[in-house]
Amino acid sequence: MAPRSSGGDRERYAVDYDWLWHRRDPTAAAILRVSVSHPTPQLAAHALERFLATLPTDAKGVQGREGWAVFPVAGDPSATVSSIDIVSGGEDVSDGIQAGADAVFNALAQVDGIGLAWHQLTTDTVLGIPAAHTCSSASQRELPLTPDEPVLDDEHV
């Protein structure tokens, strides 16, 4: 299944409950990728870095707030788009995804010329162990969220 995308420019993300609840395990980690663009790509990357710097970081280096975490997506240094993945799981997965998306939107939509595109990823589109969070297929770099670690409990966010 291909990732479902919505939005562009400055459209706020709205939770797609069909995407969340029709997965094999509706409480498993869900990944919403945010692609940030700007006519000057360095400005998109800088705005994203400024947003990430505002987030608390736990002892394992995971950034986020209650119910969600964000992971930068490794990309080509010459890319015109910078991306992060918002990850949430458990019974409140929809609340976590929406809270993370709102935080990104509120921080980045203020930047003139910024574009935001939202991509709902599935374990079919994210390579690697289904319960693990990995980056895009181009990078194949595994991020520090493994099946053995609880997803976004108080210890991790």
pLDDT above 80: residue 88? yes
| Domain count within the chain | 1
Determine the structural domain holding residue 81 and report its residue range: 4-121
133-144: pLDDT as tens digits: 433 332 222 333
In a domain, 153, yes or no: no
In whole angstroms, what is the distance from residue 15 CA to residue 88 CA?
A: 12
Cβ pair 85, 48 in contact under 8 A: no
What average pLDDT is seen over the chain? Answer: 77
Q: Which amino acid is at 71?
A: F
9-32: pLDDT as tens digits: 678 999 999 999 888 887 789 999
CATH of the domain at 76: 3.30.70
In a domain, 126, yes or no: no
In whole angstroms, what is the distance from residue 52 CA to residue 65 CA?
A: 11
In a domain, 130, yes or no: no
Residues facing residue 32 across a β-bridge: 86, 120
- pTM, rounded to two decimals: 0.74
In a domain, 152, yes or no: no
DSSP per-residue string spanning 33-94:
EEEEE-SSHHHHHHHHHHHHHTS-B-TTS-EEETTEEEEEEP--TT-SEEEEEEEE-STTHH
92-125: pLDDT as tens digits: 999 999 999 999 999 999 999 999 999 999 765 5
In a domain, 96, yes or no: yes
